[in-house]
C-alpha cells in the first residue's frame, strides 16, 4: 500500500491540507457574505461590482505571479504570501462596515488567491510525475473541496449559536486561515536557477500562449470556450429555490454536492492517469450537459439531489484533470506561466459567463439560460473529441 501511495508525498499532503484549511476559512463566509453586505447597505449593484473587481484581481494575479515564480526560480514564497494575505483579509472584514474598507479587504483576499494559485499549481506539477499528475491534482482538489464542506457547516453552527453575529464569524474564520499559513512553514523548496532577469508587465503572461506548444494552445482554447458559458453555481441554487426549495434544503444540497466532489476527485484522478485524461474529461463534460438540461426543465425539488450528484461527478472529472492536462504541456521552467495563464483566462471568463447567463435568464427565462449553456458544452465536447492526438495530446508533450 505504501508503494501505491508513494505519489502522495509529504509536500503534496501538506499543500492539500493547506488548501483544505484555507477553504474552510473562505467557505465559512461565502454563504453569508451577500446577506451581510445587504445588511450594511450594499445594493445588488455594489455587491456585483465588488465580486467582479475581486475576481478580476484574482484572475490577473494568477497569470502575473505564476510567470514571476518561473522567472525567480522558486514557488514557495508566492504560495506563502498568497495564503497569508487571504488569511489576514478575514478579520479585516470585522474592523469596519465602510464600503471602501470592505472593498479593500476583499481586494486583499483575492490578491492573495492570485498570488498563490499559479505558483502552487506549478509546485504540485513539479511534485508529480507525468503518469501521476491527474491523481495528485485530484487528491489536492479532494482536500480543498473538503474545506468547502466543513466551512459552511461551521458557519451554520456558529450562526445558530449567535444569530447575525457576522463580525464574530469573520474573526473565527481567521483561525483555519492561520493554520493554513502555519502548515506552509513545514515545507522547503529546492530553488531552481532563476532565468535571466527580465522585466515583465502586468499582462505579459499572455505572451506564453504563442510560446506554448500546439496541444497547449488547442486545449486552452477549448477550456476557455467552456469557461465563457460555465456560469456560477449560485444560478443553480437560485433555480432550485425558485422550484420551491427552502433555504435549509438549498444549503444542504450544496453541501451534498461538495461532498460528492470531494469523494470522487481522487478516484477519478486515478482513473484519468490510467484511462486517459481526455476520455475522463469528456465523460465529465457529458455529465455536465445532462445536468444542465435537467436544470433547464426540472421543477421538482427532490430531483435536485440527483442533479447535484451528477454536478459533483462532473466537477471531480474535470477540475483537477484539466490542471494536470495543462501541466503536461509545459516545460518545468514554464509551468507557473502555463498554469497561471490558464487559471487567469478561465477565471475571468467565469465572470462574463455568469453575467450573460443572468441576462439571458432575466430576458428569456431559466430554460434558455441553462439550455444555451448545455449547447455550448456540447460544442466543446465535440470539438475536443474530434481533435487528433498530435493536436490535443493528453500525454507528456515533447518539449
Domains and CATH numbers, the chain: 10-185+210-385 (1.20.1250.20)
Q: Which three cell numbers stand for residue 115?
A: 498570488
Q: Terminal CA-to-CA distance of the chain, rounded, Å?
A: 33
**Coil, strand or helix at 191:** coil
Q: Which of 351, 267, 274, 258 is nearest to 309 (CA)?
A: 258
- Collapse the DSSP code of 198 into the 3-class scheme (helix H, G, I; strand E, B; otherwise coil) and give the result: coil
* pLDDT value for 197: 61
Distances from the Cα of 42 to the Cα of 53, 101, 107, 147, 156, angstroms: 15, 13, 16, 28, 22
* pLDDT score recorded for residue 2: 43
Q: Report the chain (399 residues): mean pLDDT per 10 consecutive residues.
A: 63 95 89 76 71 82 91 91 94 88 90 93 90 92 92 87 86 94 90 68 86 89 93 81 76 88 94 92 97 90 90 95 92 88 89 82 88 95 90 69
Q: What is the pLDDT of residue 156?
A: 83
Whole-structure pTM value: 0.88
* Cα–Cα dist 254/178, whole Å: 26
As a whole number of angstroms, the distance between CA 118 and CA 394 comes to 20
Amino acid at each position: 500500500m505504501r508503494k501505491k501511495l508513494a505519489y502522495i508525498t509529504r509536500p503534496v499532503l501538506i499543500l492539500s491540507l493547506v488548501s483544505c484549511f484555507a477553504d474552510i476559512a473562505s467557505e465559512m463566509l461565502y454563504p453569508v457574505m451577500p446577506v451581510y453586505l445587504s445588511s450594511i447597505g450594499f445594493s445588488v449593484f455594489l455587491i456585483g461590482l465588488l465580486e467582479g473587481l475581486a475576481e478580476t484581481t484574482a484572475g490577473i494575479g494568477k497569470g502575473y505571479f505564476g510567470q514571476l515564480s518561473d522567472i525567480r526560480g522558486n514557488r514557495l514564497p508566492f504560495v506563502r504570501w498568497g495564503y497569508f494575505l487571504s488569511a489576514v483579509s478575514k478579520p479585516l472584514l470585522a474592523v469596519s462596515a465602510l464600503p471602501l474598507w470592505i472593498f479593500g479587504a476583499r481586494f486583499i483576499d483575492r490578491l492573495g488567491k492570485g498570488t498563490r494559485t499559479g505558483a502552487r499549481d506549478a509546485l504540485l506539477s513539479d511534485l508529480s510525475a507525468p503518469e501521476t499528475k491527474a491523481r495528485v491534482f485530484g487528491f489536492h482538489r479532494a482536500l480543498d473541496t473538503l474545506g468547502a464542506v466543513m466551512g459552511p457547516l461551521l458557519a451554520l453552527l456558529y450562526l445558530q449559536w449567535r444569530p447575525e453575529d457576522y463580525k464574530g464569524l469573520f474573526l473565527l474564520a481567521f483561525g483555519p486561515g492561520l493554520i493554513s499559513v502555519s502548515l506552509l512553514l513545514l515545507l522547503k523548496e529546492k530553488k531552481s536557477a532563476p532565468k535571466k532577469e527580465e522585466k515583465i508587465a502586468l499582462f505579459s503572461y499572455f505572451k506564453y500562449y504563442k510560446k506554448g506548444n500546439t496541444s497547449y494552445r488547442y486545449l486552452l482554447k477549448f477550456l476557455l470556450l467552456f469557461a465563457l458559458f460555465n456560469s456560477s453555481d449560485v444560478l443553480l441554487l437560485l433555480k432550485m429555490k425558485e422550484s420551491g426549495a427552502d433555504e435549509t434544503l438549498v444549503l444542504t444540497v450544496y453541501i451534498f454536492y461538495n461532498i460528492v466532489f470531494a469523494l470522487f476527485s481522487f478516484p477519478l484522478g486515478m482513473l484519468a492517469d490510467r484511462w486517459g485524461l481526455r476520455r475522463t474529461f469528456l465523460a465529465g463534460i457529458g455529465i455536465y450537459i445532462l445536468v444542465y438540461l435537467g436544470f433547464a426543465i426540472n421543477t421538482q425539488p427532490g430531483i435536485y439531489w440527483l442533479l447535484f450528484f451528477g454536478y459533483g461527478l462532473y466537477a471531480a472529472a474535470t477540475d483537477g484533470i484539466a490542471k494536470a492536462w495543462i501541466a503536461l504541456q509545459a516545460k518545468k521552467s514554464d509551468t507557473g506561466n502555463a498554469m497561471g495563464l490558464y487559471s487567469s483566462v478561465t477565471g475571468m471568463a467565469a465572470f462574463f459567463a455568469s453575467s450573460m447567463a443572468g441576462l439571458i435568464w432575466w430576458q428569456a427565462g431559466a430554460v434558455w439560460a441553462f439550455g444555451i449553456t448545455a449547447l455550448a458544452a456540447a460544442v466543446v465536447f465535440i470539438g475536443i473529441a474530434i481533435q487528433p492526438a498530435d493536436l490535443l495530446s493528453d500525454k507528456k508533450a515533447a518539449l
